[in-house]
Structure 1
Amino acid sequence: MKKIVSSVLLAASAFAAAAQDYPNHAIRLVVPFTPGGGADLVARAVAAPLAKRLGQPIVVDNKPGGGATLGADIVAKAPADGYTLLYTTPGPQMANPFLMSRLPYDPEKDLVPVSEVAVVPNVLVVNKDVPARTVQEFIAYVKAHPGKASFASAGVGASSHLAGELFKQMAGIDLLHVPYRGTSLALTDLQSGQVQAAIDSIVVYKPYIDAGTLRPLGVATAQRSALLPSVPPIAEQLKGYEAAPVNYISVPAHTPQAIVDRLNREINAVLQTPEVRDQLIASGVLPQGSTQAQMQALVRSEAAKWKKVIEVSGAKLD
């Protein structure tokens, strides 16, 4: 018994010493998406100033695959020492547990949220030939053409898919889902009128809105976007609607709390700097920041929200 107690005390002392010395070498930031995508760009915008504050390099490591589960699994199984971080979106902990019958990690037990980083606003757009200029007019149009109007997404389980399913359910409309292998293919058919609508990133759709080939009806955030200041939130006409993917950082479970607290503190400090805020806002991203408790609560509430949407829609990834 004494040996067991001694071992526990020694392990605790080692963790405490490691936390006090943290960080003393490079940190790996796993991004479970391809380079150049929205999440990757935000991760890199935050990584450089965060590395400066921590005094150690942060290496961004793109590990796409499996709907972001590949990268999430790498972090979930990494040593809990603060040197492997996950930059993620709703998939790994909020949506995939309900889209997939089995995950290689436990989203609740193996990953611990550290801090919110940003929200990537979506916008509801329609093809220019759709006779609707408001959310309510679009809902009326779909009700007048049951089963004929459709919305495009970047694929089953993508944020653009779930945002559309939430809209359908809250509006009580029969809107056909047409999944594509990425946003670029969806855009082609959306502009030609093969599909009538989509709810996806403002950053992606803004050039087409500016060109007049797509018409914005509402943003999917509670507030207006600086990129589309004249476009009201969807929630003004469909009360309670919100579907903007949150970006946040997680670590392996059992990471010492002192390390989690240090990371949270530094991430929030970075997000308060004018340079980072201006860079993110200019790219259409809303810098957020949070306490760890707030981020944990957000994971729980968003998971419950998307679980219901996914169950009603019948969406599956396997």
Structure 2
Amino acid sequence: MRRRILLATALALPGVARAQGAWAPNRSLRIIVPQAPGGTADTLARLVAAPLGVGFGQSVVVENRPGGNQTVGAIAVAQSPPDGHTLLYAPPGVQILNPLMMRSVPYDAFNDFSPVIALMRAPKLLVVRGDSPIRSTADLIAAAKARPGQLTYCSAGIGSAAHLAAALFSQMAGIEMLHVPYRGTAPGVQDLLAGRIDLTLDTAAALLPLVREGRLRALAVSTRDRAEAAPELPPIADTLPGFHDASFNYILAPGRTPPEITGSLNAAFDRVLKDPAIRARFAALGAEALGGTREELAAMIQEEIARWRGVITAQRITLE
């Protein structure tokens, strides 16, 4: 059923490569996802691969290369020929976070890659248990100030998205909370449901189903404005002005890929990401489809680096 839905969506799109003129692939493309199969990144990569392949008239294969905090997949793309046929689905670890948290990374975070397009942004939810007495962001900050270092929050590990989001929240609110890292989001959320953890600040895709069931209570969203996935929730910024955080993923090509190739790839992806059916599928997964120019992507990456450098340095977060 999933394959039929993706194919139907793809066939509804106008020809992509035929509209470009400058460059088109002459064989199948690979999108390397530096994470394990089954996660949101893997799902979204496969979602865009189908219509992209139809538009180009070539198959687009999604290949999972997890390991090394996303460095295994990144190296595979960095070492690929710069001919547009191998692309990287880039979570923030590759260029934004690993260079800030690791003593050294086994690639040049910028010279080894060429920006193609911003793919998606996903809000996080600030949540507590459904029976928690904490009912708002202001309640949470007050509770943390009353009990410094006693409130606990879970994440998928040191340096994970949830860890960094909560560290940013704590720093801006002037509070201290205890970080409890897990090997993945699911075990941490299970302990949150069981009452062994007080809260988390993680992706809407992972938490929203439990909020809808009433097992978790969402206090706010992490984005500056209300999120499409949960429009009823206020932004954290309503209580903590200036707070903003959203998971940000994008597409990279190997470094030294010619501009006519990255330009054609950008236009092809942008056409896919503007399709209403694709945008609806992204929204159902708790993500916002982005798109835009290569220059806009480069600026977004620099903005994210500036946002996280201060947090990571102040909190002394390292992966070594």
Shared topology, TM-score over 0.5?
yes
Q: CA deviation at 1:315?
A: 1.2
C-alpha distance in 2, partners of 1:181/1:30? Answer: 22
Q: Do 2:23 and 2:261's aligned partners in 1 also have CA atoms closer than 8 Å?
A: no
Q: Do 1:129 and 1:193's aligned partners in 2 also have CA atoms closer than 8 Å?
A: no
State the match for 1:73 in structure 2: 75
Q: How does 1:1-318 map to 2 (within 5 A)?
A: 20=22, 22-318=24-320
Q: Do 2:23 and 2:264's aligned partners in 1 also have CA atoms closer than 8 Å?
A: no
For the residue of structure 2 that corresponds to 1:66, the secondary structure is coil
- Change in 2 beyond 3 A, CA 1:261/1:289: same
For the residue of structure 2 that corresponds to 1:131, the secondary structure is coil
C-alpha distance in 2, partners of 1:167/1:254? Answer: 38
One-letter code of the match for 1:152? Answer: C
C-alpha distance in 1, partners of 2:92/2:244? Answer: 14
For the pair shown, the structure with the greater C-alpha radius of gyration is 1
**Structure 1 segments of 4+ aligned residues over 4 angstroms from their partners:** none
Counting matched residue pairs gives 300
One-letter code of the match for 2:48? Answer: V
C-alpha distance in 1, partners of 2:76/2:233? Answer: 40
Q: CA deviation at 1:259?
A: 0.4
How many percent of aligned residue pairs carry the same amino acid?
Answer: 43
RMSD: 1.3
One-letter code of the match for 2:216? Answer: L
C-alpha distance in 2, partners of 1:282/1:213? Answer: 20
One-letter code of the match for 2:196? Answer: Q
Q: Which moved more, 1:210-219 or 1:151-160?
A: 210-219
Q: Do 1:152 and 1:186's aligned partners in 2 also have CA atoms closer than 8 Å?
A: yes
One-letter code of the match for 1:242? Answer: H
C-alpha distance in 1, partners of 2:58/2:235? Answer: 41
State the match for 2:14 in structure 1: none
One-letter code of the match for 2:77? Answer: V
Consecutive unaligned residues of structure 2, counting only runs of 5 or more, are: 1-20
Q: CA deviation at 1:288?
A: 0.9
For the residue of structure 1 that corresponds to 2:153, the secondary structure is strand
- Given the two structures, how large is their TM-score scaled by the length of structure 1? 0.92
Q: Do 1:88 and 1:247's aligned partners in 2 also have CA atoms closer than 8 Å?
A: yes
Question: 1:17-41 CA deviation, whole Å, 9 max, x = no partner?
Answer: xx95531111111000111101111
C-alpha distance in 1, partners of 2:40/2:244? Answer: 19
C-alpha distance in 2, partners of 1:98/1:236? Answer: 29
Consecutive unaligned residues of structure 1, counting only runs of 5 or more, are: 1-18
